[in-house]
Amino acid sequence: MIHRIKLFMAALLVTGLGALPALSHEVKKHDDDMDRHHNEKHSSNKQVEMIRESEQVLREAVTAPDNHIPRELLERAECIGVFPEVKKGAFMVGGEFGRGLFTCRQDDGSMSAPAFFKIGGPSFGWQFGGQSADIVLLIMNESGVRHLLEDKFTIGGNASAVAGPVGRTARAATDIQLHAQILSWSRSRGAFLGVSLDGVVIKPSQDSIQAYYGEPLTASDILIDNQVEPPESALSFIETANQYVRSSS
C-alpha cells in the first residue's frame, strides 16, 4: 500500500514538472500581452495629447489679436497641418525634430480624421529665436495634397512653399503667396509669423497612426479615402478645424 502511494506521488511530481514549461509559456504570454497592451495604451495616449495640443495651437493661430493666420486662407485650404512644440536642437543636423498631424477637406467640405506625420531637417529657415516653435501648414491645392500623401516630400523641393501672411486679411498677400502649394507659419515667444521652411522633410508617421487607430492605415486611407470614423478623442479638433474652414461671409 505504501509502495503504491509512493508511486502515485512520484507520478504526480513528474506530471507537474512536465507541465511547468507550458505553464511558464502561458505566464510569459500573458505578461507579454499585458506589456503590449500597456505600450499601445501609452502610445495612444501620446497621440491623444498631440491632438489636444494641435487644437489649442490652431485656435490660437486663428484668434491671436494681431499676428494671426487669416481666415480667408483657411477657407481656401485643402489640408491643415499642425506641429506643436517643434524642437530646435536637431534641426540643423537633419534629424527628426517634430511630430504633428494633418486633416484634409472631404467632398462635403468637412475635415477628415487626423493622420499623424513627422517633420525633419535639414533647413536653413529656422529663424524662430527660441528652443521650440509651433508650426502651422496649409496645403492650398490638389497638387500639394498629392505631395503630402507621398512616402515623404520636401518643402520647397517637391512642393512650392512660401511664408504665409498674417493679419486681419489676406488681400495684401503677394501673387506668389496666393498661388503657392504650401503656406507656413511658426509661433515662438508668442506671435505667429510667416516662415520659410525650404528643405524640411515631411512624411507620414506610421507608428503613430497604428498606435492611435489600431490598424496599419495609410495617410491616404484617413485623409482622402475616409476609411475610418474619427475617434471620440479627435472630434473636438475636427470641429474646431471645420469652424475655421467654413466661409465666414
Domain residue spans of the chain: 61-245
At 113-159, the pLDDT tens digits run 999 999 987 644 444 455 678 999 999 999 999 999 999 888 888 78
At 203-238, the pLDDT tens digits run 999 999 999 999 999 999 999 999 999 999 999 999
Distance CA 194, CA 207 (A): 30
Question: Model pTM?
Answer: 0.78
Neighbours of 102 (CB within 10 A): 26
Average pLDDT, the chain: 79
